[in-house]
Amino acid sequence: MCQLLGMNANTPTDVMFSFAGLACRADEHKDGFGIGFFEERGLRHFIDHHGARSSPVAELVKHYPIKSLNVVAHIRKATQGRVALENTHPFVRELWGRYWVFAHNGDLKGFVPRLHGAFRPVGDTDSERAFCWLMQELDKAHADLPTIDELTCTLAELLPLPARHGTFNLLLSNGQALWAHGSTKLHSLERRHPFGAATLADEDLTVDFAARTQPGDRVAIVATEPLTAGEPWSAFAPGELRVFVDGECRLRRCG
């Protein structure tokens, strides 16, 4: 199973503690990794079809001072599509003058939608094909960039269609919000004042967030499996869609 990591915050936040927890799971997921994070309207996007344990790109990311409101990261275990750079998540497209970043965990069987617009896959994964279809349908549903609530309603209508074809755990962001859909396995956590210490579940690494935050800071983390021990992670219900804005869950929709 691929591993997903998303972050949404109300102030530019360092995601490297959570990324370190994700990278610990790279031994079983050697088919590539990637991360996309927004800096205002801009996007920094790093991918490599080599495993995160050995990738020089991963080393670059670990030493980059990431401060972002929205982050999407992925460690791949290939099910469809060969191990290649063009098949490495997260995928990026432009719509309504904004970048969109998408990562998927799962396997869609027989989902071959007709793609007739500007959104076509470069690689040969079910994930990128589903992303292109999703962008196409959003473009058809709205003439211009809708509100976050309007986008959430449209996504709640669209996501069950590919989900009928298999496992469809995903993260999606346009820099304004983070949408997360859980088909089988996804968890989220919200950190806010009073902040405490957190310890990674897979590695002996602890961070005291009280020393790094302000009282008004809020951060939401989404991951396939809980990344830390002793924190109140919340499991998604099958078919549940959550949207995170300013570091907290604004809305939940169950399919």
| 2 carries an active-site annotation | yes
Q: Which of 2, 24, 132, 249 is catalytic?
A: 2
From the number of C-beta atoms within 10 Å of its C-beta (0-12, 13-18, 19+), residue 39 rates as middle
Alpha-carbon torsion 240, 26, 122, 69, what sign?
positive
Q: Supply the residues annotated as catalytic.
A: 2
